[in-house]
Structure formats: C-alpha cells, structure tokens
Amino acid sequence: MNLTSPFFLAIVVITALALLGLPIGLAMMVGSIGYLWLAGMDMGTVAEQFLNGMYSNYIILAVPLFIFAAEIMNSGSMTERLLRFCNVLVGHFRGGLAQINVVQSLIFAGMSGSAVADAAGSGRMMQNMMTRDNRYTSSYAAALTAVTSVVGPILPPSIPMVVYALVSDASIGYLFLAGVVPGLLMTAMQMVQVFRDARRHNFPVEERVPLADVPRITIAAFPTLLMPVILLGCIYTGVTTPTEAAALAAAYAVLVSTVIYRSLTWREGYSALRLSAKTSASIGMMIGGAMVFNYVVTVENIPETLRRVMTGWELSQVQFLILVNVILLILGCVLEGTAILLIIVPVFIPTAQALGIDLVHFGVVVIVNIMLGLVTPPYGLLLFIVSNISGSPLKDIIRDCLPFLGWMVLCLALITFFPGLVLWLPRLAGYGG
C-alpha cells in the first residue's frame, strides 16, 4: 500500500482520532473529508452520503424505537414482574437466582433487542438481588449479567440484525427467525454452566414460590410476556414491517406501563425518552459516519479487491467462515460492535456471496461474533458496564466470565459448521436460502 495515498492517510486520521477519544462516527467523517480533499473530490459528498444514509433507509427507524421500548420497560414495572415470573420457573433450583438471570435475559431479549439495555436495566436489578445477603459474589453476579445479556441481540428482535440488514440487504424477518435456535442454544449452554457452578460452589437454593401464588404472579406478568408474541406475530404474519413492529413495541410498552400497571410517572417517561434520544443519536452518528466512510471504501474498490484476493486463495466456504471468525474475534477485542458491522462486515459480503454463502447464515455468524466481543477483554463494553454497576474489579469479572466464553465459542463453532442450525427455522417459514 502507498503510505502517502489519500486512503492510507484517511485510515491513519480515523485511527488516531478514535484513539484520542473522538467518537468513531465523527472520526470516520473527518477522515473521509480528508480523503475527498486530498483526492480532489467534492467534499460536499460527505453531507450527501450522510443524509442519504440516514434518511433514505426506512429500516433505521427501528433502532430508536426498540431502544425507547427497552427504556420504558426498565422505567416501569414490566421488568420487575418479569423477574418474579422467572423466579416461579427456575428460582427453586440450586443457584436459582443465577438461573433466573439467564431466563430473564432470554425473555427480555424478545422485547428490547439490545444487550446494553438488558445489562443496564434488568441486569442492574439482578445484580442487587444476587448480591443481597452475600449469596453470590459481586463479580460472579456481574459476569453472569454480562454474558446473559448478549443473548438479546441474537434472538429477535435485534438492533444489530437491523444494522446488518442495512448493509447486506438481507431480509430482516428471516434474520430474526435465524437467530432463534442459536439464541436458545446459547441460553441452554449458560444454564448448564450455572448448574455446574452451583454444584461446585454450593450456591443457595431460593425459597419455592407457594403454589397458590403462581397464578397471581403469572397473570401479573402476562401483559409483559405477551409483548414478544405480539411483536413477532405481527412481523411474520405480514401485518407490519419490522420497523412498524418496533413502533408497535414502543407503543405497547407505554400502554402497559401507564394504563395496565400504572407504574410509569411523567418524570420516568421523560427520563426514558431523553436516554433513548441520547443513545439513538450516538448510534445514528456512527451509522452516518460509516455511510460516508463506506463511500470512500467503494471509491477505492476495496470490497472487489478483497474478493479477488480471497478468490485467488481458493478458499472453501468453511475456510472463509473460519477466517472471518478469527478476524472478527480479534477485532471484537478492541472495536465497538456497531463499528465492526458498519465498516468491516460490508467488505466481506461480496466474497461471501461469491462463495455461495447464504447471507442470512453469514449474518447470524457475524452477530454472534460481535456479541462475543462485548464480553471479551480488553474492550468488552458489557464488562465495563457491569463493572460500573457492581463496583467489582474488572479482572475478577473477566475471571468469572471465562467459562461462559468457552461455551459461547462452542456455540459459534456449531452455527459456523452447521448452517442448518441457523437456517432451519427460516426455511420452515418459506425462506429459499
């Protein structure tokens, strides 16, 4: 590579600004402006690409709507009622509270689509419950909260899958379905590890919920449990698009919290709206910056060049997927997941298509990789979040995360080598891939 070329200098600028702490979206914009200036191109293209990327993609609207739905659930009492219901299901087993953490993340996944929302919302409550009376160490509770939260974006609905659909043109509906089996598989593996830990460390057994209280707790949680059923039912019956379903999820969360549970105050509603706006703006800036940088990448013909190089290597589908897994696992240790989806993944898609790899299968492999990155040191965003919530040292949390990471890598290997695990459900729904 020419070290004085506009593209190389743009990469240097983006990397330097990101390391100095500038948000990656802004760093990409600055680097892209520098590229266009050095290449003698119209710098107004930056604004054009930003606006086209943000306002011509109807699907992007799903992101702030799912975020808002999650914030409303955390602000009202929907999450608390969900935790009580999970206690009925698995709370009476040894290590019951830990199993509740796993199960509540599985159910919460069908509502928020965000690992961060799960960890910061219901995960915060689980942290307090597990460490009360020193029943579990703070680091174990934090580690479990982090690893269970990653299930959210694998199961539908999923904000990362919405972003992947944006860059790959894959069907969101089939992507959502494709994430069900891997998400359930990962949840089962986490429950197995909790069971092993419970026996090894003699975790406490929670008091069994009286049988007479089960109907009351179930009825109280029913409106919350109904949310993913309505959401996914509307998508797969064709009543709504995924974006419209996101709006429905937000409206339903507000309706349940205000009318049925009457637990959401004006102050809490405003706070949820404000937090959702801040998070959405951050993600939107990153998407906009990636759109501008992707234009630069396209002008440089990087995807086609990479496709020709990899074709020259004569890689098989499995070899290519292994290579992608290795690259994404390494990048996941140092880069934020959305940045990987928007910058790195589009470069691989032409090669995946040329090798005949199904883009829905490829998308799920990519998403699971990125979820691994959320709990992989040294960057691991969820590790920092739960460390902040719990006050536990990061090294202790990482130590307790490692056994779960092993299971997650096994899950990644299974869905990589056995595409049928991913595509079975979409094919039942009529997918031709």
Domain coordinates in residue numbering, the chain: 1-43, 44-428
pLDDT at 178: 92
pLDDT at 351: 84
DSSP category for residue 211: G
Mean pLDDT to the nearest integer, 233-261: 81
Contacts of 146 (CB under 8 A, 6+ apart): 119, 123, 374, 375, 380, 382, 383, 385, 386, 397, 401
pLDDT class of 113 with cuts at 50, 70, 90: low
Percentage of residues in the chain having pLDDT higher than 90:
11
Higher pLDDT, residue 67 or 350: 350
Residue with tokens 């039942």: 428
pLDDT at 189: 93
Mean pLDDT to the nearest integer, 101-126: 65
pLDDT class of 107 with cuts at 50, 70, 90: confident
Higher pLDDT, residue 147 or 50: 147
pLDDT class of 91 with cuts at 50, 70, 90: low
Contacts of 135 (CB under 8 A, 6+ apart): 97, 203, 204
**64 touches 200 (CB < 8 A):** no
pLDDT at 101: 78
Torsions phi, psi for 24 (to 5 deg)? -60, -35
Helix (H) or strand (E) holding 21: none
Whole-angstrom distance, CA of residue 383 vs CA of residue 375: 6
**327 touches 365 (CB < 8 A):** no
Long-range contacts of 201-204 (CB under 8 A, 24+ apart): 202/94, 203/94, 203/95, 203/97, 203/98, 203/135, 203/136, 204/94, 204/95, 204/96, 204/97, 204/135
Closest CA to 251 of 299, 259, 369, 301: 259
pLDDT at residue 364 greater than cutoff 90: yes
pLDDT at 105: 76
Whole-angstrom distance, CA of residue 346 vs CA of residue 306: 11
Torsions phi, psi for 375 (to 5 deg)? -120, 20
Mean pLDDT computed over every residue of the chain: 79
Which pTM value belongs to this model?
0.75
pLDDT at residue 215 greater than cutoff 90: no
pLDDT at residue 125 greater than cutoff 70: no
Higher pLDDT, residue 143 or 309: 143
